[in-house]
Structure 1
Amino acid sequence: MKKGIMIFLLVISVSFLIMGCSAGEENDGSSVADSLENTQKVEVTSLESSDATTISDNNDIEEFVDALKVDEWELEDIPSEASEDKTFKMYQQDTVKLGESENQNDDLNEVATMTTYKDVPNVKFDVESLSLSFKVPDEVAEYLNSKINN
């Protein structure tokens, strides 16, 4: 009986150890894209004009996130001579907390800001107190720079 209990406890302990170790493995570029897919609205503004574009349709947001190709971004400093071009502000609704209904808080909160630069394929991505600079593929830079004109 004692031997059976010891084996049972050993199996449970090993199972928890394996689950705990695998929980931290999902920290790659796809997790950034997954969090962007929760975006419910994107406001695009340009420094050169007062025009603004809002992306709020689910299909348009999905297309926007797919076009970013986040898994192909590379950490790289923004060139010192680069000048800012467009700003993309991303909004999400707060997570529904225990005891709240889904319709209790319909306000969208700004969760991230992405800034593009003229003539260089770089972006600055700000989320909460973290700011990262990336080099993006040329087709992503072209897509982002064309968004205000749509």
Structure 2
Amino acid sequence: MPAGPSTAARTPFVLLVVLLLAGGLISLLLLNASLNQGSFRLSELRRETTDLTGRQQALQQEVDAFTAPDALAERARELGMVPGGSPVFLYPDGTVRGVPSEAAAPSSPAPGPSGASAAPSGLPGLSGLSGPAEEPLPAPPAHRPGG
């Protein structure tokens, strides 16, 4: 009967090894499931980022179209705005440089072939920049250290 005690002594060791292997396999299964779930979430977030980037670019193009100079000029004409004349500057001491005048509506806005009015400089309302507004600016007061 010497085989009986040695078999009984090995049973807890074999049971421990089997439990450790089963626990390891279950742990690996749970870890793999968690990694797969994270991978699916990552691919979903990448797809969402791609969609949102495309939407942001489309909105930026729309904003750029609305803020283009010709679109702004057209919208201003639709609102009844007219190009201003020569600029007038006010100095802190109350003096006025230039001659203030009321902006006048253009006599007949004849659009060119592209649908925009043709101004010599490409910008509407900048053709009349001559006159008193071209006088030189006064020099700023000289800075004296200690005084």
Q: Quick check: which has more Rg, 1 or 2?
A: 2
Same fold (TM over 0.5): no
TM-score (norm 2): 0.30
